[in-house]
Structure 1
């Protein structure tokens, strides 16, 4: 494809594509193609101007490679997932832009060119639905916004003031379009960020499990889902039994038992057991629609302040009607009375508050932070305690194997190969370190073990060549499983370097290997904790299953107030519950299956994006694994959102009270009152769309 580079700055390039026009599908295809390039961070494609803006990693070679690939780009050569085009949001934006333009053009064309009698007839007919809606509200014994709208428009028509009635209906229509557009766009953006991104799955071929790209899975294929992993496709269980957490779709946190013949859904997580599933639906469309439905229906979307604003809005309607009646009784002036009626506190409160929350969630998404509702942003803003897991959270997400100490005469490579074969089924950072070390040494392994059993926070149990193999923590291997240490190797075990984390592996009840893993501290950890304390977090706690010596060293380096070593998942959750009972607001941050109970118990649970799927699904917020500074960004967004909501509330009350006063004293006419009220509502709502940072 031919293109021209219009302008360029550091890590950003804007190009004009040399085409006459670009359809929505073509724009989405080009966006997908560029997004899939490894060097590209963000892409914006404007289908109307045919301009493309690309943000990329700063290497010169990456830029050249991207431009070279773009030159050879053809729409028909790119296979775009169906759900990507269906849910891109491009058609939605065009639909509402057209609605907006058509409404404005029709209103002014009718006003300027339609004869006055016909205009009066049109406004009278158009007023009927508003009046009927208001009457229905009264019949249901509710005095809410439709009553105000119906009364204002109806009284204007009865008085013969068709221009005022027409203007009010026009402004209400524009407001509804903007509100609906903003809400759908924000929900769509949020749903896309929450949709599944599962790259690899275990596909069952005969009796062997093969790690396969999820894009290659077809309907009818059988996949195996291990404990702690997300279910990537809708399907039917053909083998196995397990407990499935469906909170991401139903909001219900209690896991549901699934066995042969039961249906399972994409995005749910297997908490216990192992399932073989026959795929019945591929692609992310169904998952996307389910997430949209969940977002739109769930009370999770609403922060406490937002809900209070909505309830207050409904409670203010009777007062507005009462003020209208009082104004008429005191002044006997219909014009002044209508001026009060045209002003509606609830309209602005109900429009501006949700938009503020949705845009805060959207802005968090631009920083690679996924937030599942405004409630959790409010919890982060109010939090005074934060609890950190150690491994993969305060320490780097990619620990590395330093050495393998053999205790049974087998070679290091052979022991590492066995360990990797077991560990590759589980998404913990320690497990990934073992698998990565085996890959680096070129140690290939077939599925040489039987069914793998994962014991939460302890380790893994399986059998290789009919011999029982376990791998995990000291507590699991020696205390629970009563593993025997060879007499001549006790000194080696006692003198293992304490600066490393240790994974113990036993075969047939005898210690075979200790894998020493370096788990370096994140360089930004100390700064982040220091800044969190400045931002109002008064208590910082670290809880880890690691030993006391390692935990103490980490705590001293990063400035932790309290630390707890060798804790179990239940201990973390109990600590969170105890803090909440003491009246504190608690944030929990973790990445593993063992962190899930505490993530669920906290006021706001934050999961690391490359941690266990179960942790990510249960958590209220997910941050990328790049650095912990995103927690500070999240805190800043949350604090500023709460300030914006309070500011919006004061602005709405102040502006509308002033308009009512001006109307009562006859300074402004009803049309002016309606125009200024609707204009201020739109301006406050548009102001709520501004970036918080």
Structure 2
């Protein structure tokens, strides 16, 4: 590709592409290509100017080489990415806004007053008809007020005031629709599938392959806790599937042979073998958009209150108009009151504030599934953390393997990795990674794998029962024993590690010691959360009392609970809510799902189990926990902005009514100032809450 560097500072360059024009697809292709380069930390591509701004770390020459090697024809970009980029939507609404302003200014400059008056009268029919229809339903709501203000202005021959009112109302409608659609699309894209690898059935074996290699007609296996990556027909298995992403209903449905499974739904229990019918995820995106637009999840309580308050104020505005006329007998003063109402600003500013906050959160790699969750986060006073993969690093490692049988470490690790690779958990990933680092291959050699949530895994290998999991699962549930003469070695297991127990035929075979370091930022994050209004921080873990106590003391939580089961976490959350507290739950595993669902706000870690992300109301990136503090700051800032908007709307409009009644301003001026203030408040509501 040919380009020139227009501007450059350390870690950032702006390049201009030497081509005649750039399409939306080309802009998105270049954006995807550059974003995938390992040195690039951020990219913006502007198709109108054919410029790309690139933020990077490391060697600039490598970035330049990547640009030189780029060709639209050879760049591989997922079809779904191009289809759902949102770039065309943004351009569409920008053009709508510009066209409306240009048409308004052009008509005032070039059309005679008589022609403008006819055009204004024609345009007013839409507003008048809407007002009449609303009134015919027995409702005194905002459309009635708009229609009255426009109708009275036209009746008096004041076409300029009527035109200005309709112009500003139209601008407000475009801005609100634009912000809403963009926020919905951004949210839907963040909820769309990001499955990189799947288990494909080939020659009777399960093989892990890249998702983009799957074709219609292939068979895939989806294990418990994983997302179904493609639409298809179930050919084998029996499972309970959570379809909340498509239907909004959290109650799982049973899927077995011959039933249809949908991409994006999650297997809560059991496993399924699916014959793939549809590999394009575009339909999934469209379903999510529809679900979001129809769902009340986007509505926070303050938005609902604003809409209801706006409609409830209409009769008072009309009554005030009538009272002003009775007292003053002055039509001009009466119209000054009619031209001002509180409802326009209330209905415009509040939804824009909420949707802009959701958009801003996405800039920090935070996905919020609705405005009401931001409100709940602002009100929250209790936060519950899972330990493993949340307060500790998302990538624990195997520190050592203690053997309790005559098999080698390599052989035991091979067995453990063969079982653990099927299930999404940070501990399982540590075992699989350890095998990979030691170049230990672990082909499928077991029968059907059974996963017991929060306990472990059970299967059969060469006719021998093999289990791996927690001490509770291995020794209490499965009644496994320590080999004779190994009791002293077992008692001397290092206490600084978490332990994963592997047993074969009822006897302990190995203990895998997992080093699960606490996130360096954990303590600082907890302190920061307390400063933002959180009064109670709790840690819950399935680990031993010894491990839990040490971690709790190090990070500074108020309470901790050890050796808990999924139902224990959910039960704790329910008890806290019953006591009148607002609870946030943060977790990453299948075992956290009940508590995530029970909390006022469930927050999942982005690289955790798919079912946790599906059930959660918010998803944060896995890089660091400071995103939780950022989320709390955005939520608190949103509520402050909303309350400030309330005060500003009341103050400004009350002032305009007072000026109109006293005759200090004319109705035209009153309408212009009212609509201008509404627009200003709406635009300010679109600004970021965090600088």
TM-score (norm. length: structure 1): 0.97
- TM alignment of 1:345-356, pairs within 5 A: 345-356=342-353
Q: Quick one: distance in 2 between partners of 1:105 and 1:391?
A: 57
Deviation at 1:522, TM superposition (A): 1.0
Moved more, 656-665 or 575-584: 656-665
- TM alignment of 1:169-568, pairs within 5 A: 169-568=166-565
Query: Is contact 2:179–2:356 with CA below 8 Å preserved after alignment?
Result: no
| Residue equivalent to 1:680 | 677
| Residue equivalent to 2:24 | 24
Q: CA RMSD in A?
A: 1.4
Q: Quick one: distance in 1 between partners of 2:689 and 2:106?
A: 39
| Residue equivalent to 2:46 | 46
Query: Is contact 1:399–1:433 with CA below 8 Å preserved after alignment?
Result: yes
Moved more, 100-109 or 659-668: 100-109
Gaps in structure 1 of 5+ consecutive residues: none
Q: Deviations over 1:141-200 (max 9, x none)?
A: 111111111111111222222222222222211221121112112222222222211111
- TM alignment of 1:31-110, pairs within 5 A: 31-56=31-56, 58-60=57-59, 63-110=60-107
Query: Is contact 1:43–1:54 with CA below 8 Å preserved after alignment?
Result: yes
Matched residues, number = 690
Q: Quick one: distance in 1 between partners of 2:140 and 2:277?
A: 48
Q: Provide the secondary structure at the position in 2 that maps to 1:76.
A: coil
Q: Quick one: distance in 2 between partners of 1:87 and 1:671?
A: 44
Query: Is contact 1:15–1:51 with CA below 8 Å preserved after alignment?
Result: yes
Deviation at 1:593, TM superposition (A): 0.6
Q: Quick one: distance in 2 between partners of 1:282 and 1:38?
A: 28
Q: Deviations over 1:230-256 (max 9, x none)?
A: 111122211111001112222211111
Q: Quick one: distance in 1 between partners of 2:677 and 2:408?
A: 75
Q: Deviations over 1:276-325 (max 9, x none)?
A: 11222223312221222222222222222222112111111111111111
Q: Deviations over 1:587-608 (max 9, x none)?
A: 1111111111111111111111
Query: Is contact 1:529–1:540 with CA below 8 Å preserved after alignment?
Result: yes
Query: Is contact 1:175–1:678 with CA below 8 Å preserved after alignment?
Result: no
Query: Is contact 1:209–1:447 with CA below 8 Å preserved after alignment?
Result: yes
Deviation at 1:9, TM superposition (A): 3.2
2:149 is the counterpart of 1:152: yes
Deviation at 1:349, TM superposition (A): 0.9
Deviation at 1:15, TM superposition (A): 1.4
Q: Quick one: distance in 1 between partners of 2:71 and 2:97?
A: 34
Q: Quick one: distance in 2 between partners of 1:435 and 1:327?
A: 78
Q: Provide the secondary structure at the position in 2 that maps to 1:77.
A: coil
- TM alignment of 1:112-123, pairs within 5 A: 112-123=109-120
Q: Quick one: distance in 1 between partners of 2:292 and 2:38?
A: 31
2:600 is the counterpart of 1:603: yes
TM-score (norm. length: structure 2): 0.98
Deviation at 1:633, TM superposition (A): 1.0
Moved more, 430-439 or 207-216: 207-216
2:634 is the counterpart of 1:628: no
Q: Provide the secondary structure at the position in 2 that maps to 1:291.
A: helix
Q: Quick one: distance in 2 between partners of 1:70 and 1:112?
A: 47
Could you tell me which of 147, 150, 166 is aligned with 2:163?
Answer: 166
Q: Quick one: distance in 1 between partners of 2:101 and 2:550?
A: 66
Deviation at 1:267, TM superposition (A): 1.5
Q: Quick one: distance in 1 between partners of 2:443 and 2:391?
A: 34
| Residue equivalent to 2:636 | 639
Q: Quick one: distance in 2 between partners of 1:118 and 1:633?
A: 54
Q: Provide the secondary structure at the position in 1 that maps to 2:269.
A: strand
Moved more, 108-117 or 480-489: 108-117
| Residue equivalent to 1:616 | 613
Query: Is contact 1:81–1:283 with CA below 8 Å preserved after alignment?
Result: no
Q: Quick one: distance in 1 between partners of 2:152 and 2:253?
A: 56
Q: Provide the secondary structure at the position in 2 that maps to 1:275.
A: strand
Q: Provide the secondary structure at the position in 1 that maps to 2:340.
A: coil
Q: Provide the secondary structure at the position in 2 that maps to 1:487.
A: coil
2:5 is the counterpart of 1:5: yes
Deviation at 1:483, TM superposition (A): 0.8
Q: Quick one: distance in 2 between partners of 1:353 and 1:125?
A: 31
